[in-house]
Structure formats: C-alpha cells, structure tokens
Chains A and B, each alone.
Chain A
C-alpha cells in the first residue's frame, strides 16, 4: 500500500474545493541511475474522488506528472461534515485510498 495522501476539502457557496497532495515517486521509466541502468517506470495511472458513492473526479495520470503530485479540483455540491474519498492506482497495481471530511 502506498504512502498516505494529504487531503483538504472545504465548501463555499455550494462549491467544494478539494486539494490533494500525493506521495509517489512518479518515475518516468526514461531515467538512468548512476550505474547506467534504466530506472523502471513507476507512476500513478488513475486518480478517483468519490462523494457519497458518486464519482466526482476521475483522471488519468502519466509519466509527465511530477514526483509527489499536487492536484486541486472543485465540484458543485458537497456539504460540510460529509466525507470525500480519494484513491489512486499506479502502474504496479499498488493503490492508496484516503478520506477527508469537508470543512465549512
């Protein structure tokens, strides 16, 4: 299982803003290490956010995303005190899922 994410979410005027900081190496697979051997690709391929069982964000990630990626998105709706679940999957099949309560 991957390392925990840091997620913050707040609702304002009926729009919920979600900020996600993920911990991941995000190796491109194109980089060589000091000995000249290729560092195998290792990156997040999908990120999904769910609110009350409904998918509010679904994205595909690739090699061009930086290490420890930061993602911000907004969606209509959402209520303070309710929960949002964010999860990612990487190309090795590893996953991580974290939950956050929406702040007012």
Chain B
C-alpha cells in the first residue's frame, strides 16, 4: 500500500458544521441553516433503506394465505404503485370507504395475505426494537410517486365528506390544553423553537409540508409514516390516541392532502 496516498481523517461527517463563525455566517438565519443542513443530508437519506425493505416485503409471499401484495389495488389497478400516492386518500368501491395509503395497505394485507387486522394494527409504527412492515411498505409506495404532482380528488360524495370532516378535525379545539391542529398550523411565519411551523391553510406551505412525509427522523433513527405523524400530533395536543387507520385519521389526511394539491411530491423526506 502506498502510504503517501492514504488520506487519514478523523470522522469527517458532512453534517458537521464549522465552528468558526464569520461575519457572513452570522447573517444566515436559523431557518436557512436548517435548509442548508437538510440539503447536505438529502443525498444520503436513510429512508432509502426502509424503501428497499418495503419493496422486498411488497414482493414477498407472506401470511396465512401465502400471497405477496403484488395484486394489491392502491387505486390505479392491481399491483400499480407508480404515482398512486398522489391520488390518495380516495374512495374505494370494494370496501365502500375512503382510504389513505396505510388503511388501504391494511386492507390488502388482511384480504390478500390473510393477516388479522388486529395483529397489524396493534403495533403499526416502527420502533427502535422492531421495524414495522406496514410502515416500510408505505415508504416504498410513496417513493414511487416522487416528482409527481399531488392530485387528490373530492369528486366522490364520500371523499368530499371526508374532506369536510378532516377540515373540522383540523380546527377542532379540545383536550386539557384546549388545542387544535390549527393552534400551531394556521398562522404564517411562526416557529416552535428552531422549526418554522407551516401554515397549512396556505397552499404553498401545505404542499411543502405534505410533500415530505413519510420521513426519516434523524433524531429517532427511524422512518416515520403519515399515520404516525398524525398519531403524534394528537399526542402533542394531549388528545386520546387515535385508532390506527381510523376514519378520523383518514379524514384529516384527506383534508391535508387536498390542501397540498398541485404540489410536487418529494418524499420520503428527511427531518432533523
């Protein structure tokens, strides 16, 4: 080995920011810094690994019925995953319900693979100790919609109804803190600690927020699904925990997805 060619480094993570603060740097705002940080790490999003896991699961024979999910209809026909996320939630004839991605995956896993719903819904989110199949599957499916514009329809009366219910939930104040989603997400140019809070009543903000979920959370070391996002929003508001893939969570998703219509989907995202 030619030693002169060896570059020896102390771990040089690209994430590491320089300690020296120059005059130019001090003019950069915190949100710019966050944007800078996001850009630096966007190249190496560990959500890719969850996508790979999800893709393998999609194609793997599993469950009592020994079937893969390749015949699962996510709205554009059996087995089609390309672009489906941009049209979800939507009304499904076979179930007679409006479903988001995760509730639809739940339907496929129960009907095609014969896995009991309770078994999946009991632990639907990934944890440090155990990955979640339904969550990884969702990561895989959303990845197939990258770069496609959101186009969720409220044409069907039930879809329209879900949207209206979702809007009400968004603005519904309750719980020990008398909180609503809109308490934090209906005002422009506000932040919580270092994070800018998107005003979800403004299309541009709603598009940017929706386009980046599901996302890998660096602080948690896990890829988080949209159902998890809503579940945690309810927790932060000190609401009772919503049931996984429940009508209420789907309705709220419907409201948020429609608010993001026209925006280019960019997930799976990457969050601090």
Contacts and interface: CB of A to CB of B under 8 A. Distances in A.
Interface of A: 3, 6, 19-21, 23, 54-62, 64-73, 75
Interface of B: 1-2, 5-15, 41, 43-46, 48-49, 218, 221
Which 3 pairs, one residue from A and one from B, show the smallest C-beta to C-beta distance?
A70-B44, A68-B46, A67-B221
Given A23-B46, A23-B49, A54-B2, A70 B10 contact: no
A59 B14 CA distance: 14
Per DSSP, chain B at the interface is: loop
Given A3-B49, A23-B49, A72-B43, A59 B9 contact: yes
Contacts of B8: 58-59
B11 A59 contact: yes
A41 B12 CA distance: 21
Contacts of B48: 6, 21
A56 B46 CA distance: 24
A85 to B, nearest CB: 14
Nearest to B49: A23
A62 B44 contact: no
Contact of A73 (B5, B7, B43, B44): B7
Given A66-B13, A67-B221, A68-B49, A21 B44 contact: yes
A60 B11 contact: yes
B44 A19 contact: yes
